[in-house]
């Protein structure tokens, strides 16, 4: 399985949102689980200049920007 194919797995999750977080900017990008191509493009684009983290738990609720930062973060 290549990296692009792994994003296709997300499309099997119905009615969910995947959150991509760029650090250190603490910026979140949200994609519907059916938009695997859009997610992949965004991760590749962001990954050129920043650290990128992808939620592995598709969720229905939105994650606000800055959420999930550690206790040592302002």
Q: Could you tell me the pLDDT band of residue 58, with boundaries at 50, 70 and 90?
A: low
Each residue of 8-36: pLDDT tens digit?
777 777 777 888 999 998 899 988 888 88
pLDDT at residue 46, as a whole number = 95
Q: State the sign of the Cα–Cα–Cα–Cα dihedral 19, 62, 36, 1.
A: positive
List the one residue out of 57, 15, 73, 40 whose CA is nearest residue 65.
73
71 has pLDDT over 50: no
Whether the CA torsion 30, 20, 62, 58 is positive or negative: it is positive
Contact 15, 60 (CB under 8 A): yes
Q: How far apart are CA 31 and CA 49, in angstroms?
A: 20
Average pLDDT, the chain: 77
What pLDDT band is residue 60 in, cutting at 50, 70 and 90? Answer: low
């Amino acid at each position: 399985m290549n990296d692009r194919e792994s994003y296709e797995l997300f499309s099997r999750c119905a009615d969910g949102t995947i959150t991509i977080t760029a650090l250190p900017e603490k910026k979140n990008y949200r994609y519907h689980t059916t938009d695997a191509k859009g997610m992949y493009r965004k991760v590749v684009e962001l990954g050129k200049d920043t650290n990128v983290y992808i939620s592995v738990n598709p969720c229905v609720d939105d994650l606000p920007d800055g959420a999930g930062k550690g206790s040592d973060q302002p």
